[in-house]
């Protein structure tokens, strides 16, 4: 089984596996890793451990080194560049008259690419905008259209519970959420009460639903009519 270390690049972002490359790494260490888009700065969120081969996306890239103070300075400088790039891109989008909303800008650690995230109601022809931005920043430009759930994750905010959005604080991935989950918890089906800031069903309906059925079983709200004529006999929720 391969030995891996889990690295995250953003708060509440996905955790990616990397080869520790015989470097002594502990949870919380800052590292420089090799990725498909070049060198990136990340944080170790799970210590070195062995995993099944099928859990690893081949080829398994390696940790290059632990981050140095100079790397931290470079990261801070990149953040400053991202803010400036956002202002410039917003101006150029308006100048080109494009119907798109700029959400975030990401500058790769090694400066090889700038990624602009945006939302739009439909397809947008941004080819001229890419050429414009490339001539300004003199680096590779990528425009990536995202959905409303990703927008909420990037921008953050407060949910109806009064706490910071789950997606922007600890949820690494978006899992499917269905109206059935709200029904199982006997919640109001009013969209305004079970939808998040993104306008989609709240993510918390899913993990609350995972607790709802066992609780109702313990309280005797789930019945079985095995052996009775016409009974379900499959432990369905009682009405």
pLDDT in tens, 8-31: 998 878 888 998 988 889 999 999
What pLDDT, on the 0 to 100 scale, is given for residue 212? Answer: 61
Above 60 in pLDDT, residue 229?
no
Distance CA 111, CA 140 (A): 9
Q: Band of the pLDDT at 116, cuts 50, 70, 90?
A: very high
- Mean pLDDT, the chain, integer: 83
Better-scored residue on pLDDT, 213 or 30: 30
Cα separations in angstroms, 112 against 26, 36, 38, 54, 128: 28, 12, 7, 31, 20
**What pLDDT score was predicted for residue 215?**
60
Q: Which of 191, 156, 162, 157 is nearest to 177 (CA)?
A: 191
The least confident of 7-11, 58-62, 89-93, 234-238 is: 234-238
Q: How many CB atoms lie within 10 A of CB 115?
A: 17
**Percent of the chain scoring above 90 in pLDDT:** 39
Mean pLDDT of all residues in 207-226: 57
Which residue did the predictor score with more confidence, 185 or 83?
A: 83
- Name which of 56, 50, 146 is nearest 106 in CA terms: 146
- The average pLDDT across 115-137 equals 94
229 or 12, higher pLDDT: 12
pTM, rounded to two decimals:
0.76
Is-contact 196 153, C-beta < 8 A? no
pLDDT at 236 over 50: no
Q: What is the mean pLDDT of residues 29-43?
A: 90
Write down the pLDDT at residue 219: 56
């Amino acid at each position: 089984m391969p030995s891996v270390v889990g690295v995250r690049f953003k708060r509440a972002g996905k955790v990616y596996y990397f080869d520790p490359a015989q470097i002594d790494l502990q949870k919380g260490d800052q590292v420089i890793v090799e990725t498909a888009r070049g060198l990136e700065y990340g944080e170790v969120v799970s210590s070195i451990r062995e995993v099944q081969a099928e859990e690893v996306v081949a080829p398994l890239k390696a940790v290059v080194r632990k981050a140095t103070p100079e790397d931290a300075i470079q990261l801070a400088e990149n953040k400053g560049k991202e803010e400036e790039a956002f202002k410039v891109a917003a101006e150029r989008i308006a100048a080109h008259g494009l119907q798109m909303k700029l959400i975030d800008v990401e500058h790769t650690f090694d400066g090889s690419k700038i990624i602009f995230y945006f939302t739009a109601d439909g397809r947008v022809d941004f080819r001229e905008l890419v050429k414009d931005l490339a001539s300004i920043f003199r680096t590779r430009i990528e425009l990536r259209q995202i959905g409303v759930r990703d927008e909420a994750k990037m921008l953050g905010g407060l949910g109806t519970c009064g706490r910071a959005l789950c997606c922007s604080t600890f949820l690494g991935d978006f899992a499917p959420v269905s109206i059935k989950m709200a029904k199982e918890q006997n919640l109001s089906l009013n969209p305004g009460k079970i939808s998040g800031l993104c306008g989609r069903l709240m993510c918390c309906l899913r993990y609350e639903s995972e607790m709802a059925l066992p609780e109702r079983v313990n309280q005797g709200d789930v019945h079985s009519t095995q052996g009775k004529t016409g009974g379900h006999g499959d432990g369905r929720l009682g009405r």
